Amino acid sequence: MSIVVTGATGELGSLVIDRLLETVPASEIAAVVRNKKKAADLAARGVELRVADYDRPETLTGAFRAGDRVLLISGSEVGKRVPQHTAVIDAAKAAGVAQLAYTGVLGGPDADFQLAAEHKVTEQLILDSGLPYTFLRNGWYTENYTANLAPVLEHGAVVSNAGDGRVASAARADYAAAAAAALTGEDHLGKAYELSGDAAWSFAEYAAEVSKATGKEIAYTNVPAAVHQEILVGAGLPEGFAAILVDADEAIARGLLAGTSGDLARLIGRPTTPMAETVAAAVAAG
């Protein structure tokens, strides 16, 4: 039996592997990767590499073994994830894995925004498969915002159409720690965890933290959805992806990403990382 992490060289997957290596022998961890060379550092640390591609179902045949505990990290390509996830689920079922943990989205079946659609379908596919499951319904990563500080600093503004909506975000490493806990602990089968930060913040509060960390005056500018769409497209985003981000902001305005269930802190055994701490770290890193 191995603990298997798909998408293991991605931003979340690599953090999950790091966390697992703190408590699990490397010989008991397997990383499903598309590019073996990109995962050379994992192999050097003793992690088994299993080469497979979500888009090539035939390559997934040998990715899992009977009794494995598997983390399916959702694909990053919106619009392609259902067939990709279906291929993984089918392979996991054929192999007879002992657990399939899946990184979905906060709210699960109640999330009504566009970005949640494929996650909801995937959860149902897993339920229909009969596999022992754990749903890790991730809220927003604070890094979703701090990764885009350059335009904020250039224009002196955080722009959104979320109004006074709040976001209970946490650091990506917090979600990785939760995934590792669900894969290594007991009593997680058949459960759905609503994972979010301990405190929800507004975009005005986020702008204030960026101001504090940079010493620059940063304002929060709330704009209509159509205007935000134009801004994002003008910045080079494809229209379809811009529309998804605008729709997500509307979900934030409706309070759908403000939930603070405490599940994340309970899983990781500590408070979640405050937004201000992630902002300060991003600014310090340049």
Q: Residues 58-87: pLDDT tens digits? A: 999 989 999 999 999 999 888 889 999 999
Please tell me the CATH code under which domain 140-171+196-259+273-286 is placed. Answer: 3.90.25.10
Q: Residues 186-205: pLDDT tens digits? A: 999 999 999 999 999 999 99
Q: Residues 227-276: pLDDT tens digits? A: 999 999 998 999 999 999 999 999 999 999 999 999 999 999 999 999 99
Please tell me the CATH code under which domain 3-138 is placed. Answer: 3.40.50.720
Tokens, residue 237 = 């985003």
Query: For residue 283, what are the contacts with CB-CB under 8 A and spacing of at least 6?
Result: 149, 210, 213, 214
Instruction: Indicate whether 286 pLDDT > 90.
Output: no
Instruction: Indicate whether 1 pLDDT > 90.
Output: no
Phi, psi of 6 (to 5 degrees): -85, 160
pLDDT bin (cut points 50, 70, 90) of residue 182 is very high
pLDDT score at 243: 96
Positive/negative CA dihedral, 109, 148, 146, 174: positive
Instruction: Indicate whether 183 pLDDT > 90.
Output: yes
Segments of the chain assigned to CATH 3.40.50.720 = 3-138
Contact 127, 187 (CB under 8 A): no
pLDDT score at 282: 96
Segments of the chain assigned to CATH 3.90.25.10 = 140-171+196-259+273-286
